[in-house]
Amino acid sequence: MTDTRKTTPVPAADPLVGTLVDGRYRVDSFLAAGGMASVYRAHDTRLGRDVALKVIHPHLALDPALAERFIREASAAAQLHHPGIVAIHDQGDIDGRGYFVMELVDGHNLRTELITEGALSLGDALDIVEAILTALAAAHRRGIVHRDIKPENVLLTPEREVKVADFGLAHAVSAATGTTTGTVMGTVAYLAPEVVSRGTSDAAADIYSTGILLYELLTGEVPYADEPPIRIAWHHVNDALPLPSDSQEWIPTEVDEFVAALTATDPAARLADGTAALAELRRLRRAIGTSLDHLRAPRVAESGPQVTTRMPTEVAPHALPSAPAAAASSRRPRTRSRRRILVAVLIVFLIAAAATIAWWFLAGPGARVAVPDVAGMSPAQAERRLSALDLETTRDVEYSDTVEAGDVTRTDPTSGTKVKKHARVRIYVSQGVHMVNVPKGLEGKNRDDVEAALAKVPLAIGDVSEEYSNDVAEGLLIRLSPEPGTSLAHDSRIDLVFSKGREPQKIPPLTGLARADAEKALADSKLGVSVVEAFSDTVEKGHVISQQPVAGAGGFTGDVVTITVSKGPEVVTVPNVRGMSMDEATSRLEALGLRVTTRKRLLGLDPNHVYDQSPSAGTSVKVGSTITLDYV
């Protein structure tokens, strides 16, 4: 990151310039120094690109907690990938001094823009704030708060692209050092009331700072610019901010209302985060259009040196006696001397009062300390760290997806919160990932009951599908995966398969098919088969005579189709009826399904007895065949 329009004094013989950091980053030149770190232009010899190298100041590196927090905040910010946020590529340390490598942005910061150009036009100011809110919205969705929105941390490229820098890094210093007075006062003009009064900072605090920045872009100065820092902080906590139109009458009411929504004293009444503020800004821009975009506040002329002018003494209308005048003249030195003494005493008194107040709030009973970040430490380490700050502790447990069992997950109040000495801080110790069992007995239940049972565990629902089932009624659960009784992490997803009921099938035509072919056709249609055999004079043996249900009828998978298979023609063996009476022989043959006809042989003298038969006894004939009986 570099500002091509800002000149920063280069430290004499900076030892880092010309060195190779971590065998990769060649430090080419010094760029700038801030309250927390120095910035260098460097070259990544591995990827062949220029980068910005930000190195924590040596005196800050002496505090291990600060250095650790510096790296942790840099690592968190490195997770942000957004065109409006300066990218962080790498991090490490140089002889105990933390550093991180970030995108090199050619251009200048918004402070330089304000110094050289003065207030911006309405259109430019809203464009820049919209870009800032877009970046904040992306960060706030990831749970990352900037904590130091101000013109110095907003960069403008030559193409007027806006990039927000140093996400969360100011918090690294304030959390580890207790946010010293100097640190707070350095950016007091942009601090939200809750940051000043309670030391807490969240997404809503970023929105407040953005509102102050918009006020400055439109008017050319921050609210209460002429007052000392302590009075500015008092105003932020106790007063509603002045409206931009109080300074510039041309500013639309809608813009006043937007700034007021960004800078509400009560965080609950403020636009909550970047997403909410961005939506409101876009609604505002649609409402006011672009006809006023060109308007801007006139530049305020720089005031020259202040000159003290001696006022003439008024002459009395009547002359006074010379002796009293001489006496008055003799009293003036003593009067001036007494005044000097009174002024000196007053100064000493004010210094003593200021020192007493400072002691009370910084070291005495009114002192507040920032709760340190002890996440990831063992409970014993965390308690020692808090005890060193005169804070009392109590323990509690909770599940955590990210912190190993036995380590501290968080504190209440949260890290960075300002509390009085001897306040009680609750330490939460991780029980590890919350494991739950897949519930049993859900098969056969409807979807509402299944979802309610899983939500109660709780387990999330994964893929939901349907399939046909002969055994489970439509709309009921067939199975779930993983299987019931399986132990899973609480955020696991369960796949569900519900029944569509029985699968519809059309009965295929089977009449005339060979038995094997008919059975295969039914199997292919997922239908069962029942076989009945019958004699048939017309259908070949082994082929289907008929079916039930008939071809084309509707059915379902698993239904049974009955087929009647031909045994061929029915045959009987002709019995021997020779010598029987004609009536007996006829009855015997008809009982076998045979027809009888008689025929006279020779004289036909004995028509009541069978003399001969045709076909002869033992012959196989079809049922219904005719047997001829001869008599003589």
C-alpha to C-alpha distance for 630 and 68, rounded to whole angstroms = 126
Q: What is the pLDDT of residue 351?
A: 61
Vertex 221 angle, CA 217 and 224, to 5°: 135
**Contact between 415 and 375 (Cβ < 8 Å):** yes
Element (H, E) at 598: strand 595-600
CATH class of the domain defined by 435-494 = alpha beta
C-alpha to C-alpha distance for 241 and 214, rounded to whole angstroms = 13
Q: How deeply is 235 buried, as exposed, middle or buried, from its count of CB atoms within 10 A (0-12, 13-18, 19+)?
A: middle
Distance of CA 402 to the CA centre of its chain: 15
- Topology classification of domain 108-288: Transferase(Phosphotransferase); domain 1 (1.10.510)
Q: Which residues does 190 contact at the CB level (< 8 Å), separation at least 6?
A: 148, 149, 150, 208, 209, 212, 213, 222
- Topology classification of domain 368-430: Trypsin Inhibitor V; Chain A (3.30.10)
User: Would you state the structure tokens that stand for residue 376, as one six-digit string?
Assistant: 């990831």
C-alpha to C-alpha distance for 99 and 565, rounded to whole angstroms = 90
Domain 504-566: which CATH number of 3.30.10.20, 1.10.10.10, 3.40.190.10, 2.70.98.50: 3.30.10.20
C-alpha to C-alpha distance for 334 and 158, rounded to whole angstroms = 66
Integer angstrom CA distances of residue 32 from 3, 54, 109, 150: 9, 9, 12, 17
A 10 A CB-CB count for 331 gives 10
> Which are the catalytic amino acids?
148
Q: What is the pLDDT of residue 288?
A: 92
CA distance from start to end of the chain: 137
Q: What is the pLDDT of residue 180?
A: 40
User: Would you state the structure tokens that stand for residue 218, as one six-digit string?
Assistant: 């439109």
Domain 571-631: which CATH number of 3.30.10.20, 3.40.50.410, 3.20.20.60, 3.40.50.1360: 3.30.10.20
Beta pairing partners, 493: 460
Q: Which residues does 252 contact at the CB level (< 8 Å), separation at least 6?
A: 245, 288, 292
User: Would you state the structure tokens that stand for residue 454, as one six-digit string?
Assistant: 């899983």
For domain 20-103, the CATH superfamily is Phosphorylase Kinase; domain 1 (3.30.200.20)
C-alpha to C-alpha distance for 413 and 417, rounded to whole angstroms = 6
**Contact between 111 and 148 (Cβ < 8 Å):** no
Q: Which residues does 337 contact at the CB level (< 8 Å), separation at least 6?
A: none
C-alpha to C-alpha distance for 112 and 105, rounded to whole angstroms = 15
Q: Residue length, the chain?
A: 632
Integer angstrom CA distances of residue 209 from 133, 160, 163, 227: 11, 21, 16, 18
Residue from 209, 214, 235 nearest 224 by CA: 235
* Helix, strand, coil share (%) of the chain residues, nearest 5: 35, 25, 40
Domain chopping of the chain, boundaries: 20-103, 108-288, 368-430, 435-494, 504-566, 571-631
- Buried residues in 85-106 as b, exposed as e (16+ CB within 10 A): bbbbebbebbeebbbbbbbbbe
Integer angstrom CA distances of residue 308 from 126, 302, 362, 585: 42, 18, 39, 161
Q: What is the pLDDT of residue 305?
A: 34
Q: Which residues does 79 contact at the CB level (< 8 Å), separation at least 6?
A: 142, 144
Q: What is the pLDDT of residue 76?
A: 74
- Buried residues in 476-501 as b, exposed as e (16+ CB within 10 A): bbbbbeeeeeeebeeebebebbbbee
Mean pLDDT in each 10-residue stretch from start to end of the chain (632 residues)?
45 81 95 83 95 88 72 76 91 86 92 93 96 95 90 93 79 44 57 85 94 97 90 89 92 94 92 95 93 84 34 33 37 51 62 55 64 92 89 93 92 91 93 93 95 92 94 95 92 94 93 95 93 92 95 91 93 93 94 92 77 92 92 80
User: Would you state the structure tokens that stand for residue 30, as one six-digit string?
Assistant: 């010094």
Query: In CATH terms, are 20-103 and 571-631 the same topology?
Result: no
**Contact between 137 and 115 (Cβ < 8 Å):** no
**Contact between 488 and 454 (Cβ < 8 Å):** no
Question: One-letter amino acid identity for 387?
Answer: S
- Prediction pTM value: 0.48
Residue from 350, 353, 493, 374 nearest 427 by CA: 374
**What's the CA dihedral at 166, 167, 171, 173 to 10 degrees?**
-30
**What's the CA dihedral at 85, 125, 234, 153 to 10 degrees?**
30
**What's the CA dihedral at 126, 128, 131, 135 to 10 degrees?**
-120
